[in-house]
Structure formats: C-alpha cells, structure tokens
Structure 1
C-alpha cells in the first residue's frame, strides 16, 4: 500500500509513510506548510518517495480563493470559497489555487500506484473531493480512508453527503479498533476521527 495525504498540514503523516518506504502523494495548500514539508523531504533525502502538490481541493480546477487561519492551530486553515482572488494575488500566503481530486490521476498512473490508503483532513472541504474524485476511486484500490468527522448542526449537510457517498461505494465506518459505527448515530456520537473501510479488501480488521 502507498499513501495519499490530502491536507498534509506540516507533513507528519507524509514523512512517516515516506520514511517507511511507501510512495506518497501529499496535497497541502498553505504555503508555509508546503515549505516545511519540502524542507523535511530534503533533509531526510526522500525526494524519490514523495510527490508534493501545493493546491487546495475543490470541485473546479484553476480557481483562486483566500483562506482563513487560526493563529492558535497551525492545522486549521480553511479555504473561503465565497472569497475573491486571482492569479496576481497568488504570492499571498493566504491565497490558494485549486485542483480537482481527479487531477492527481496522471501522477498515480505515472507512479504505477494501484493500491493506497488515504487520509483526508481538509477543513470541511471533503465534499469537494468526492464531487470531483470518482475517477480516482474507480481506478485505484483505496480500502482504508481516515477522515476527520466534525459533528455539529452547521455540518449536517456535509456529513450526510459523505455518509451517502462512502456507503454507496461499499465503505463501512469504523473506529481505530475496527468497531463498526452505527449509521443512525453519525450525527450524534461518532468519534472525531474515523476510518471508512472496505472490510473484505483492507486485510486490517
């Protein structure tokens, strides 16, 4: 299994997987974090193990958006999709350029990646990944997906969308100990982090 790190933050998961000998597609949109990951790759001499993409995942490619940041949490940057920005603003660390998740398919094919586990942590933008990611899920065996699950009334529509999307693709929600989570409790008691698993393919549970 290789690794797809969507929302790599400072690269903790990316560097762990790459140093373990796995090939990593690492996607991160916040420029200071991209620099941190790039420096770590150089220091650890892992250039041949990581493809680093400095973009935000969205339903359209080539859009420019502003983002907000929390000074007390380096991992809490979020894209503001109703903001206005253009290419001339791109030097601003709080301006990002978007890609669709499907856009990474040529990279996966070039690296001959047919099997991968995935982590998604992109601050409430997971629906965009699903909306423009069917080609990836159809082409690559991804039996395990770690996602952040923010329960709260303002997230209900997003959570319902993710629930429907992954269950339709044969994924089962579980805890990190492989306990299956009841769907009826998705909006009330599911943990902050959970795993979507294809039980017959993951060989984990």
Structure 2
C-alpha cells in the first residue's frame, strides 16, 4: 500500500472540509441576526413543511445582501406576533386581551385596594404608585374612588336604559369598567397601554368580574398604524399617542400599541344601543373621524368625554361640528335637563355628555 499517497488524500479531504465549513459560516452569517431569519424561526414551529420551504427559499434569496441590507427589510418577528393576536374577520388588527392570564405579580402594581362607589359593593382595584400617578391612583388610595359622582350618573343612566351596552374607550386602570361591571352590566373596554390592561385583568380576577368584561388592547385613531407613547412621569393616565412610528420593531409593547379605527368595532355593536365613555387623551376627534360608519350603524345614545383639553382649541371646534351634525347636544353630566350653549363652550364643565 502506498501510505504516502493515502496520507496526502487524508490531508486533502481535511483541507476541503475546513474550507466548506468556513464558506458556510461566511455565507450564512449575514442572515443569522436578521429579522427575516427570525421570522422563519418564529413561524417554523407551527408552519407546514411547504411554508417552511417557502420561507427558506425567501431567506436564500437574500444571501447575496450584506447584514445591514437584510436588517432594513420591513419583515420582523414583531409583525408576525401582531398577526397572530389579531381577530379574524376584522379589517384591521383588533386585539382581544387575554384575561385568563395571571398578571398579579407584574411590577407596575403598587397595591390593590377597595374601589368604593356609593350604592355598590366594594370591589378590588389595582393601582400604580401614587408618586407616578398623582391623580387617579392617588385619589383611589386616599379616597376610595376617582370621578365617583360621574360614575354614579352613568350607572343611573344605565339603570334607566337596560338595553344599553357600555363601551369604555380609554379605560386606564378600570375605574368605570369595574364599577359598571360591578353594577351588573357587561362592558367592552379598550386601552392602548398594556400595563393598564394587566392591572385591570388582575382587578377583574380578584373581584370575580372577568366574565362581565371584554378587554381590547388597541389605540384608537383615524387610521390603523403603530403608535408610540409620550409618557407623563407623574400621570400615567395622561399617556399620549404619537403617530407616525414607522418601525414597529424598534419599540416594545410597553412603549407602543397598534391603533385601529372606531369603524373596526362595528361588527361587535351593529344595530345595538351604546353608552360610550371616551377618554383617550386628546385623540377624541381622531377617534370620531375614524368612526363615521360606527355612528351610522350603531345607536350611540350617550357619549361621555373629557372637555377640559378642548375648551378653546380647534380640536374642540371639530368635535362640536362632528357631534352636532349628527344630532347630538352637549350637557353637563350632573344636569341633563338643559343642553349647554355652544357659544359658551369655554365655560363648559371639565366633563360633558353628548346626548341624542
């Protein structure tokens, strides 16, 4: 046997193998950290073999690009995650928040105390540290409630109108939602802030009210998009939406949300009578403009909203025009016998209710 020739062959095979390994490492390195490869990893657990092969083919097409080019593609795992949480049959991404999950240990819960509304049994409500929520949470901790007078007004209206559904747009930690549910009425509550919904879910579970409430995790605007958050460090409830967030993967669930339009909720409320409480931090007009069909196909009998921010600005003018064109009149919630005069809008109360 020619041992010299045999050894040369072994060396050649070894060198060839090393070359192949290095080549594969270089070729696949560009997409190992890319959003596209993450998309494949995320979907492969549930996708069919055909879908996996399709994704792999898509990945291979991008091997010729460098890492920075692949990272600039708009396909991200976050987009896939949103798709998986969207309800089927809706035009935009309407997301129902899972109230079966235990969120009682989330870090934002400062404590859970009794929500005390006259004529109702106490029910637990979880709140923020009053140092970072100097209005709502502090008021609940020190006084047992927030806007208790308005809540009693709403409950009385609902009692006089047994067929009314309650829609809480901008539910925050859930003062209205919990009170209305505790009064025996079903509630649909929407909020953009996941932290609020985690806390409200905990309150519902502690008070055995989960079956009375449907939670929707979305922002509300005049178009569907990803929105960022502008935080008020002392007023969590004063969280404002920032439109135009183009890169959904660049922000976390705690710093952003997916906005829908009010019209997206038509299938849930078509031909039904509704009481709406709207408190979405200056986005009220945008919500209305995105809900023209909702106002046509849903019988909105009452719309309760904060007026403080709109007393003398253009948004307030737009709200007045939108509502009056549809036959609504503004009232002080504590005095609904006589409508407020439009020309006195600057002196209207901090909260108003539109009635049709």
* TM-score, reference length from structure 1: 0.86
Closer, same or farther in 2 for the Cα pair 1:59/1:39, shift >3 Å? same
Structure 1 residue 79 and structure 2 residue 236: aligned? no
Residue 339 of structure 2 corresponds to: 180
Q: Quick one: distance in 2 between partners of 1:118 and 1:169?
A: 15
Q: Quick one: distance in 2 between partners of 1:151 and 1:50?
A: 29
Q: Which has the larger radius of gyration?
A: 2
Q: 2:197 aligns with which of 21, 28, 34?
A: 34
Residue 159 of structure 1 corresponds to: 316
How far does the alpha carbon of each residue in 1:135-171 deviate from its partner, in whole angstroms, 9 at most, with x for none? 2222222211111113568x61110110001111111
1:22 partner SS: coil
Q: Quick one: distance in 2 between partners of 1:9 and 1:18?
A: 15
Q: Which has the higher contact order (CA 8 A, sep 6+)?
A: 1
Residue 103 of structure 2 corresponds to: none
Query: Does the CA contact (< 8 Å) of 1:102 and 1:135 recur in 2?
Result: yes
Structure 1 residue 98 and structure 2 residue 220: aligned? no
* TM-score, reference length from structure 2: 0.51
Q: Quick one: distance in 1 between partners of 2:297 and 2:186?
A: 17
Closer, same or farther in 2 for the Cα pair 1:121/1:151, shift >3 Å? closer
How far does the alpha carbon of each residue in 1:53-73 deviate from its partner, in whole angstroms, 9 at most, with x for none? 111001112x11211111211
Q: 1:20 aligns with which of 167, 183, 187?
A: 183
Unpaired runs of at least 5, structure 1: 199-205
Q: Quick one: distance in 1 between partners of 2:253 and 2:217?
A: 13
Deviation at 1:181, TM superposition (A): 1.0
Mapping for residues 1-205 of structure 1, pairs under 5 Å: 1-61=164-224, 63-82=225-244, 84-89=245-250, 91-109=252-270, 114-151=272-309, 156-176=313-333, 177-178=335-336, 179-186=338-345, 188-198=346-356
The answer to which structure has the higher helix fraction is: 2
Q: Quick one: distance in 2 between partners of 1:117 and 1:193?
A: 15
Over the residues paired in the alignment, what is the CA RMSD in angstroms?
1.8
2:318 partner SS: helix
